[in-house]
Amino acid sequence: MEREFLLQATKKQLTPARWEHTLRVSETAAELARREGVDPDRAEVAGILHDYCKFWETDELVSWIKKCHLPEDLLSYHKELWHAPVGAEVIREELHITDEDILNAVRYHTSGRPGMSKLEKIIFLADYIEPGRRFPGVDEVRELAKTDLDQAVLQAMNNSIVFLIQRGQKVYPLTLLARNDMLDQIAEKHLREESF
């Protein structure tokens, strides 16, 4: 994967502010990856590509959802979710990205999912905590990310779910399943640690 080609292709898709966000996500992802023993180059690529379709027109996103047979229930939820699964399909088709872990990191960076890989967790978290983000709860998640990836991902999911509930919005079911799965993973990890 030619990094410069991916940077230029992505930059053309984004507003200047979103491009700056994308660069910060990419850097944050590489940093988290080094800490977590994940290939930082792959994390950087996933970070560069994560918002590839963020500013596509609604009609185009809907067309790709239908064309690629993505879950049609997406259309019943906030449009903010759509760019992630569509983005994974577009970068596979148009940029020839074939690394399934990178594709899944893009695909699930807005919703999460049960059984997320470390790279998926890293992109989900990097998008949430990159240095330009300013909202209640982000500093707590940044602190958790320094020592415990899973706890940080869980807290980010909790914050996002509460945010949606407080605004009277629907929560995508996959996000609830992802959150419950993170709870289970953390509980299992604690059990393993206690048994030693």
pLDDT of the residue at 1: 53
* Structural domains in the chain (count): 1
Helix (H), strand (E) counts: the chain: 10, 0
CA angle, residues 67, 87, 102, in degrees to nearest 5 = 120
C-alpha–C-alpha distance, residues 162 and 168, integer Å: 10
Amino acid identity of residue 127, one-letter, is D
Token digits of residue 150: 């899973």
Q: Which residues of the chain have pLDDT under 70?
A: 1, 196
Count of Cβ atoms closer than 10 Å to residue 169 Cβ? 12
C-alpha–C-alpha distance, residues 176 and 155, integer Å: 13
pLDDT of the residue at 194: 83
pLDDT of the residue at 190: 86
pLDDT of the residue at 62: 96
Is 0.75 topped by the overall pTM?
yes
pLDDT of the residue at 195: 77
Contact 104, 118 (CB under 8 A): no
**Domain containing 34: what range?**
3-194
Contact 51, 87 (CB under 8 A): yes
Tens of pLDDT, residues 43-70: 999 999 999 999 999 999 999 999 999 9
Domain harbouring 35, CATH code: 1.10.3210.10
pLDDT of the residue at 72: 87
